[in-house]
């Protein structure tokens, strides 16, 4: 790769310390309102909003700026129904077919999840996130990507944050294995399904588990 041109950093905005503290606290409050939701409303969400949130996700830092992600946004009811059907086959094997170890089922118990995934049809959009394991040059030869999992994980986190900020709810769904998604949405073999992000409005009577997040002492160590 030829060296990029370098330009002055003109987008950085410093905040006075008081404003910085307020901004950090307010954003914490915004993020504390985010909940993973499983009860979706069928209300439509404009495609434009999804596109802007995807562009926000696409600003993520990533290995060698390869941007090794591909977001397949499914609104087509028939494709959604097929995704639900195939995901539920895997989920039945997981929950009922003895595939999940008892320890894993015990860990999920408090969330009340099961093999039924109606949200895959009911929510207006499914964003199938693919990780591009390697790239292809025009002549067909492979190019390496770097830190693919980290990069796609960061971009997905930013996508979830952008959608929450836009007033929507999401569910990160990971049927396993997910290879069926390549065929259903027509992605090549160098792209690996990462997760499905279910996006929309919550149902009026949506319920969420009464769970808490760890406090600062449990999630951090400061060495000053």
Q: Which is nearer to ligand IYR, 62 or 80 (CB)?
A: 80
Rounded to whole angstroms, the Cα distance separating 57 from 52 reads 9
- Nearer of residues 69 and 95 to ligand IYR, judged by Cβ: 95
Burial of 189 (0-12, 13-18, 19+ CB in 10 A): exposed
Q: Is the peptide bond before 50 cis (omega within 30 degrees of 0)?
A: no
CB of 110 to ligand IYR, least distance (A): 10
Number of residues engaging ligand IYR in binding (CB under 6 A) = 9
In the complex with ligand IYR, the residue whose CB is nearer, 64 or 105, is: 105
CA angle at 184 for the pair 64 and 55, rounded to the nearest 5° = 40
Options 15, 108, 207, 208; binder of ligand IYR; rule CB under 6 A: 108
Q: How many CB atoms lie within 10 A of CB 172?
A: 14
State the angle between helix axes of 17-32 and 148-165 in degrees (0 to 180), rounded to the nearest 10.
90
Selected range binding ligand IYR among 1-9, 108-116, 137-145, 184-192, rule: CB under 6 A = 108-116
Q: Binding to ligand IYR (CB under 6 A): which residues in 142-201?
A: 173-176
Binding site for ligand IYR (CB under 6 A): 91, 94, 108, 111, 113, 173-176
């Amino acid at each position: 790769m030829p060296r990029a041109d370098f330009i002055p950093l003109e987008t950085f905005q410093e905040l006075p310390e008081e404003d910085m503290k307020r901004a950090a606290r307010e954003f914490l409050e915004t993020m504390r309102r985010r909940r993973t939701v499983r009860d979706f409303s069928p209300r439509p969400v404009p495609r434009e909003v999804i596109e802007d949130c995807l562009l926000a996700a696409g600003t993520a830092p990533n290995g060698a700026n390869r941007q090794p992600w591909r977001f397949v946004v499914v609104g087509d009811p028939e494709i959604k129904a097929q995704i639900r059907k195939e995901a539920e086959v895997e989920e039945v094997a997981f929950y009922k077919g003895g595939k999940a170890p008892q320890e894993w089922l015990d860990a999920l118990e408090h969330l009340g999840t099961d093999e039924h995934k109606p949200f895959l049809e009911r929510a207006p959009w499914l964003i199938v996130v693919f990780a591009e394991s390697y790239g292809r040059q025009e002549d067909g030869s492979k190019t390496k990507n770097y830190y693919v999992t980290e990069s796609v994980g960061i971009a997905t986190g930013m996508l979830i944050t952008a959608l929450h900020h836009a007033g929507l709810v999401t569910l990160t769904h990971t049927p396993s294995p997910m290879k069926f998604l390549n065929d259903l949405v027509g992605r090549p073999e160098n792209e690996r399904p990462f997760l499905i992000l279910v996006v929309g409005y919550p149902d009026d009577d949506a319920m969420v588990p009464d769970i808490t997040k760890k406090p600062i002492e449990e999630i951090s160590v400061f060495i000053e």
